[in-house]
Amino acid sequence: MSHTAHIPSHRKPRRSASKLAVRAGVAGGVLSTLAMAGTASASPAEPVAETTLEMPVLNLDLAAEVSSAVATAAENTRAAAVEGELTAQEESARTGAAAEARQAKEAAQKKADDDAAAKKAKEEADRKAEAERASRNSARSALSTKSAATPSDGSGASVAAPATGSAAAIVNFARAQVGKAYVMGGTGPSSFDCSGLVQAAYRQAGISLPRMSQAQSSAGTSVSLSALQPGDILYWGSKGSAYHVALYVGGGKFVGAQNPSTGIVERSMNYDKPTGAVRVL
């Protein structure tokens, strides 16, 4: 036997290089101590007796520790994988929700833009239509004024014919009835039919007219629609068999009891151009 003790080899799985280094350091220290003790006890006069020194076995259960570490690592790996999968699912859900919200916002914006464009187009169309109506009304008013003028005085200029005397009484009465109801057979004072209104208006001038529109359309003298004077009787249909009558009040307008829907109104001649006219005054 040598003076140094024999250290049996205990090979086990090493957990890490740092732990093995510590264990090697401990073993080295023990060997150094034993070597120094053997040298000090040796004497030249006495033979050295061979002694077997049994080193303490380093009872390091590396296998158990490695197994535990592997199990822990596996559990950590599995937990990390689960955590990663949950994170990925959450991220996917957030991404999907964001995409849906973006699509909904874009759809709402598109609808708002379409509605705004449609509204603008409608407003523009209404504006143009109103401008066209105003233009037509202006032209009709000018035409009515021209047609309501009396014949030329010789200089080529048209001369208006204002209502005076009996004509003024007839016109003023007719206009005072505007807004009242139309009732078939009505002769006043709260409602009239077309011939009842004409008859009542002429009564204000002391003139008695037939009751029916057919007879009123043939009373007096026929006049051209371009030479009308206030108080003239307008008729629709054939003379002597007219189905409707009204009173010309000047300015290209007439007053008449039109129908149950409109009642008594004042309208432009262009609204419903009559067939002819007669003058009783």
> Residue 261 belongs to a domain with what CATH number?
3.90.1720.10
pLDDT value, residue 42: 46
Q: Interhelix angle for 194-203 vs 165-176, to 10°? A: 140
What is the spatial distance between Cα 190 and Cα 44, in angstroms, rounded to a whole number?
Answer: 164
What is the spatial distance between Cα 75 and Cα 69, in angstroms, rounded to a whole number?
Answer: 10
Domain count, the chain: 1
Q: Are strands 181-182 and 191-192 parallel, antiparallel or unpaired?
A: parallel
- Residue 71 within any structural domain of the chain: no
Whether the full predicted model's pTM is greater than 0.75, yes or no, is no
pLDDT value, residue 160: 44
CB 255 within 8 A of CB 178: yes
pLDDT value, residue 54: 55
Backbone angles phi and psi of 45, in degrees to 5: -90, -20
- Residue 156 within any structural domain of the chain: no
Count the residues in the chain: 281
CB 239 within 8 A of CB 255: no
Q: Is 1 exposed, middle or buried (0-12, 13-18, 19+ CB in 10 A)?
A: exposed
- Residue 1 within any structural domain of the chain: no
- Residue 200 within any structural domain of the chain: yes
DSSP code for 235: E
What separation, in Å, do the N-terminal and C-terminal C-alpha atoms of the chain show?
Answer: 168
> For each of the chain's 281 residues, which pLDDT tens digit applies?
445 445 455 455 555 555 555 455 545 554 555 555 555 444 455 554 555 555 555 455 666 777 777 788 888 888 788 778 888 887 777 888 788 888 888 888 888 888 888 888 888 887 777 777 666 655 555 544 444 444 433 333 333 456 778 999 999 999 999 999 999 999 999 999 999 999 999 999 999 999 999 999 999 999 999 999 999 999 999 999 999 999 999 999 999 999 999 999 999 999 999 999 999 98
- Residue 237 within any structural domain of the chain: yes
- Residue 255 within any structural domain of the chain: yes
- Residue 23 within any structural domain of the chain: no
CA distances (Å), origin 117, targets 81, 110, 113: 53, 10, 6
Segments forming the whole domain that contains residue 233: 165-279
